[in-house]
């Protein structure tokens, strides 16, 4: 796509710091990182940013390649884990955001934020913070609503 920022990067019209690529995908360091090594994992072919709209074959290959890139970040940055976010916003080109989780210990420990947050609508970013505890009855009602609208 002519005016897509990610397409311009893929075509070499905009500079980038590539860390991995193959014929179908490209991993670059984000120019606006919120942590060291934050990476954007792009499809080279322009697809809509809503990940569920990818063709099945591309989707499957994308996630197989994703495992290679996250492993590369783990080893290259000496981190135990890399968080994966598929938000599908900002730039309308299929991409996955990768966040190296710096500071984790060798042995798994729960890491929870002190504050809780809840959003009624999308605020322009994602959060993995827990929200306020919901009543199980309310959750079951919502679960039934979702299932009733999606039954085949």
Work out the number of other CB atoms within 10 angstroms of the CB of residue 85. Answer: 13
Catalytic residue of the set 46, 93, 95, 102: 95
For the chain, give percent helix, strand, coil, nearest 5. 30, 15, 55
Question: Rg of the chain's alpha carbons, rounded to an integer?
Answer: 18
Euclidean distance between CA atoms 139 and 144, whole angstroms: 9
The yes-or-no answer on residue 46 being catalytic is no
Parallel, antiparallel or unpaired: strands 25-29 and 18-21: antiparallel
Euclidean distance between CA atoms 114 and 14, whole angstroms: 40
Active-site residue list: 95
């Amino acid at each position: 796509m002519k005016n897509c920022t990610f397409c311009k990067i893929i075509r070499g019209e905009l500079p980038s710091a590539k860390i991995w690529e193959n014929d179908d995908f490209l991993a670059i360091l984000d120019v606006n990182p919120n942590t060291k090594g934050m990476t954007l994992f792009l499809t080279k072919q322009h697809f809509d940013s809503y990940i569920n709209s990818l063709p099945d074959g591309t989707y499957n290959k994308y996630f197989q390649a994703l495992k290679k890139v996250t492993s590369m970040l783990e080893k290259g940055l000496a981190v135990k884990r890399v968080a994966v976010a598929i938000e599908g916003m900002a730039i309308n080109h299929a991409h996955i955001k990768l966040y190296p989780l710096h500071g984790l210990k060798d042995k798994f420990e729960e890491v929870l934020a002190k504050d809780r947050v809840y959003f009624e609508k999308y605020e322009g970013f994602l959060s993995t913070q827990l929200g306020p505890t919901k009543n199980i009855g309310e959750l079951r009602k919502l679960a039934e609503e979702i299932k009733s609208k999606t039954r085949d």
